[in-house]
Amino acid sequence: MTTPARTRVAPSPTGDPHVGTAYMALFDKAWSRKTGGQFVLRIEDTDRNRLVEGSEQQIYDSLRWLGLDADESPEVGGPYAPYKQSERVDSYRPFVEQLIESGHAYYCWCSGERLAQMRAEQQASKQADTGYDRLCLGMTRDERAKLPGFSPTPVVRMLIPDDVPLSFHDLIRGEVKAPRPDDQVILKADGFPTYHLAVVVDDHLMKITTVVRGEEWISSTPKHLLLYSWLGWQAPLFAHMPLLRNTDKSKISKRKNPAARLMWFREQGYLPEALRNFLQLLAYPPADGEQEVTSFDEFVEGFDWAKVSTVGPIFDVKKLDWLNGVYIRSLPTGELASRIVDYALESGQWSEIPEGGRELVLAATPLISERLVTLAEALPKLQFLFTADDQLVFNPVAVGKLKDNAAEVLTLAAQALEQLDEWTTDAIHQKLQTVLVEDMGLKPKFAFAPVRVAISGEQVSPPLFESMEILGKQSSLARIARLIAEL
Ligand code: GLU
């Protein structure tokens, strides 16, 4: 039996949440569920210059939307609170002191200009070792102050030993090698820890057992392992997930691909369960014959780090479209209708629910669900039902395609429908079939096309007779009369 895993996702609130955050959270949560442990959300906000207002809330909201909310977080609290690094600043300092005293870290007073100059010289001379040149190592403040490029507020750096271990075990990749690190800054001049120190201290204090993060952190892991060993702590296990890639194999970024933004999926009308399933498939392509559509519980059930592919998964939104359709059609009508309404309000398609709007959407949902890809498409398809009869615009392209006898067809249709007492889909269909197809001898295509344009304004619409039933007799006849007058 595996020991209960404590996992964490540790996003920085520096903008719209990245889809990668959800991707990590999915694996964090699955592994904690599989082992009966906990999943923690920690906000890494020590880089004060990059903070973006509202970003933290978006992280909470979008993870909750996806069903990937954490067991412990700044929002819900937990036994290791606070879960926001900016509220933990005092907890890092003692460890910095400890590292300085034990000779594993040292003060560095080099100014930004001096470091830039050093780097430029290293580059010009093409020397292989481009790290910090350790000018400050072993000096007191007074000794250093006499030399050029002195800054009165020092940083603290790790003293990377010559024999630093450069390989480590990864749950997904097995033995992994990383390049030799530089003398990493762990405490900045403003007194805030850098990511490298804060992540180790917090993961230790929060008793994290498995660190799941993107493969871009592989090169940092040797530094983190050094810190664990210097501080006398047991290091967690590491799982470095492959980076998500665009269809052209480039790394997915918010600048190049709107789908890199987690909020984008919600804005586009994807269902959270479809996105969650899509993310599962990305790292974890099902073996031949295995189900692609799987619930989170099934995913947890079969979870295995060894199954995670190390090849950068291709982020193909077409696949998500397909999955979204599958999930849309698996929803009961009432549930789908209410998601369409919620989406309309959230996205601004509606500023408020129009009178009778909820009922109308519920009645019309079966007409459109078969072909629906995203929730965003629903209302535009149903717009004609929400338009007043005298406001409906007959698309000139659709009108232009009608046969010369369209007015005659519509007049007959109107006369026949006028006499119809029972206004149901079947009765309407039956009546028009008899009058236009059987009596007039028209092909169904030509018989019903003018009626469709009259009712919906378009050449293509949701099922016609069902739409007419929902619209009602009076409206249907009024629309037919209007089109006749326009022809
Ligand atoms: N704050 C880091 C990030 O935004 C977290 C990396 C980690 O999980 O260790 O990517």
Question: Model confidence over 207-243: pLDDT tens digits?
Answer: 999 999 999 999 999 999 999 999 999 999 999 999 8
Residues 118 and 63 in one domain: no
CA separation, residue 298 to residues 23, 137, 292 (Å): 17, 54, 11
Total number of domains in the chain? 4
Distance, CA of 3 to chain centre: 30
Q: From the alpha carbon of 199, which atom of ligand 1 is closest?
A: 9
Residues 139 and 172 in one domain: yes
Q: From the alpha carbon of 212, which atom of ligand 1 is closest?
A: 8
Looking at 30-34, 97-101, 286-290, 350-354, which range is the least confident one? 286-290
Residues 268 and 237 in one domain: no
202 CB near ligand 1 (under 6 Å): no
Residues 197 and 249 in one domain: no
CATH number of domain containing 455: 1.10.10.350
CA separation, residue 418 to residues 96, 155, 231, 410 (Å): 87, 86, 87, 12
Percent of the residues in the chain that have a pLDDT greater than 70, as a whole number: 100
- 239 CA → ligand 1 middle, Å: 13
Classify residue 391: in a domain, yes or no: no
Residues 261 and 300 in one domain: yes
Classify residue 260: in a domain, yes or no: yes
Distance, CA of 204 to chain centre: 28
Classify residue 83: in a domain, yes or no: no
Looking at 64-68, 158-162, 281-285, 291-295, which range is the least confident one? 281-285
- 10 CA → ligand 1 middle, Å: 5
Mean pLDDT of 122-149: 93
Distance, CA of 237 to chain centre: 26
CATH number of domain containing 44: 3.40.50.620
- 111 CA → ligand 1 middle, Å: 27
Ligand 1, atom 3, lies closest to the CA of 11
Of 192, 218, 241, the domain-final residue: 241
Residues 198 and 116 in one domain: yes
- Is the pLDDT at 250 greater than 90? The verdict is no
Residues 94 and 161 in one domain: yes
Reported as a single tens digit per residue, the pLDDT across 291-315 is 899 999 999 999 999 999 888 888 8
Contact 340, 365 (CB under 8 A): yes
CA separation, residue 1 to residues 28, 35, 153 (Å): 18, 8, 51
469 CB near ligand 1 (under 6 Å): no
Reported as a single tens digit per residue, the pLDDT across 340-388 is 999 999 999 999 999 999 999 999 999 999 999 999 999 999 999 999 9
Q: What is the pLDDT of residue 223?
A: 98
Q: From the alpha carbon of 14, which atom of ligand 1 is closest?
A: 4
Residues 235 and 103 in one domain: yes
Contact 165, 222 (CB under 8 A): yes
Residues 235 and 246 in one domain: no
Most ligand 1 atoms within 8 A of CB, residue of 18, 43, 44 to mutate:
44
Average pLDDT, the chain: 95
Q: From the alpha carbon of 8, which atom of ligand 1 is closest?
A: 8
213 CB near ligand 1 (under 6 Å): yes
Q: Angle at the Cα of 381 (from 349 to 429), degrees rounded to 5?
A: 145
Is 254 a catalytic site residue?
Answer: yes
7 CB near ligand 1 (under 6 Å): no
Classify residue 29: in a domain, yes or no: yes
Of 241, 260, 291, the domain-final residue: 241
45 CB near ligand 1 (under 6 Å): no
Angle of helix 357-368 versus helix 464-471 axis, rounded to 10: 170
Residues 339 and 435 in one domain: no
Task: List the catalytic residue out of 254, 319, 431, 473.
Answer: 254
- 12 CA → ligand 1 middle, Å: 7
Ligand 1, atom 5, lies closest to the CA of 10
Residue 448: band (very low, low, confident or very high) from pLDDT cuts 50, 70, 90: very high
H, E, C per residue of the chain:
CCCCCEEEECCCCCCCCEHHHHHHHHHHHHHHHHHCCEEEECECCCCHHHCCCCHHHHHHHHHHHCCCCCCEECCCECCCCCCEHHHCHHHHHHHHHHHHHCCCEEEEEECHHHHHHHHHHHHHCCCCCCCCCCCCCCCCHHHHHCCCCEEEEEEEEECCCCCCCCEEEECCCEEEECCCCCCCEEECCCCCECHHHHHHHHHHHCCCCEEEEEHHHHHHHHHHHHHHHHCCCCCCEEEEECCCECCCCCECCCCCCHHHEHHHHHHHCCCHHHHHHHHHHHHCCCCCCCCCCCCHHHHHHCCCHHHCCCCCCECCHHHHHHHHHHHHHHCCHHHHHHHHHHHHHHHCCCCCCCCCHHHHHHHHHHHHHHHCCCHHHHHHHHHHHHCCCCCCCCCHHHHHCCCCCHHHHHHHHHHHHHCCCCCCHHHHHHHHHHHHHHHCCCCHHHHHHHHHHHHHCCCCCCCHHHHHHHHCHHHHHHHHHHHHHHC
The HSE-up count of residue 71 (CA atoms within 13 Å, CB side) is 18
Judge residue 233's burial from the number of C-beta atoms within 10 Å of its C-beta, 0-12 exposed, 13-18 middle, 19 or more buried: middle
- 241 CA → ligand 1 middle, Å: 12
Q: What is the pLDDT of residue 1?
A: 59
Q: From the alpha carbon of 213, which atom of ligand 1 is closest?
A: 8
Q: Could you give phi then psi for residue 168, rounded to 5 degrees?
A: -150, 170
Buried b (16+ CB within 10 A) or exposed e, 189-201: beebbbbbbbbbb
Most ligand 1 atoms within 8 A of CB, residue of 12, 211, 252 to mutate:
12
State the virtual CA torsion across 248, 254, 256, 257 in degrees, nearest 10.
Answer: 60
Contact 68, 29 (CB under 8 A): yes
Residues 184 and 307 in one domain: no
Which residue from 84, 86, 99 is spatially nearest to 42, judged by alpha carbons? 84
- 17 CA → ligand 1 middle, Å: 12
12 CB near ligand 1 (under 6 Å): yes
- 91 CA → ligand 1 middle, Å: 19
Segments forming the whole domain that contains residue 405: 396-486
Residues 367 and 431 in one domain: no
- Is the pLDDT at 129 greater than 80? The verdict is no
Q: From the alpha carbon of 10, which atom of ligand 1 is closest?
A: 5
Largest distance between two CA atoms of the chain: 107
Most ligand 1 atoms within 8 A of CB, residue of 85, 213, 220, 240 to mutate:
213
Q: What is the pLDDT of residue 395?
A: 98
Of 311, 330, 349, the domain-final residue: 330
